[in-house]
Every structure is written in structure tokens, then in C-alpha cells.
Amino acid sequence: MVGIATGVDLLRIDRLTRLDPAIKQRFLTRVFTPGEIEECAGKDASLAGRFAAKEAAVKALGCGIGKVGWRDVEILSDEQGRPRLILHDAAREFAEQAGWFSWSVSISHTAEDALAMVSALYDWV
């Protein structure tokens, strides 16, 4: 039998825009992988969308940040520019334990907010 796990998160973009530059750089390198930072090219809306996607992914995993590191969940663009979820280390282990075999991520923005949703199919015994 197949189950569906879903997580969603919403973030105000200005939470990143208002960060002190010295703090922001430390935050970015602690939360995002080098690939994510490069793809976002300093765009706060893109960074906020990826942050929301990371939160949505750990909600779908049912473990939260702490048991999974920020950089264990990576959001990169595929060849068509669609976001794709890549799980590393602890996040990959949680997904394997949960029986995840396929997942999807969607990110959307307004001028003020970034929203992300992660859905995963898993084997449900």
C-alpha cells in the first residue's frame, strides 16, 4: 500500500532582506549548500523559497530541523528550472526509514511571501 506524506511552509521574504549583512552571510552558509547559494545569486525571494522548501521537507519527513541538518536538505533546479529535492545524510536516512520512494517539491512567491510544498510517496505496510 502507498501513503502520501506532505509538508508545507510559508516565509516572509523580508525576514531575509532585513538581516544584518554580517549575520546574513553566516546564516546563508549554515543553512544553504554552495549550489543553492550559487543558484539563488543573492535573490532573497529565491532563498526564502528554498528555506520554506527545506522546512516543508522536514515536516513531511516528520522529524524537523535538529534531527536533520539544514544542509541535509538541498533544493536545486533541474534542467527545466523546476525545483528538485535532494536528500543527504540524516535526511536521506529518515526518508529511507520512512519508505519514501518518490517525492516532489513546489515553490511559489508573491512580492511578500515564499511558499513551498513537499509531497512524498512511501510504502505503507
- 9-31 b/e (C-beta count within 10 Å ≥ 16 → b): bebebeebeeeeeeebeebbeeb
70-102: pLDDT as tens digits: 999 999 999 999 999 999 999 999 999 999 999
Q: Provide the pLDDT confidence category of residue 64 given band limits of 50, 70 and 90.
A: confident
Domain range list for the chain: 2-123
Q: Report which of 66, 107, 102 is spatially closest to residue 87, judged by C-alpha positions.
A: 102
Classify domain 2-123 by CATH architecture: Alpha-Beta Complex (3.90)
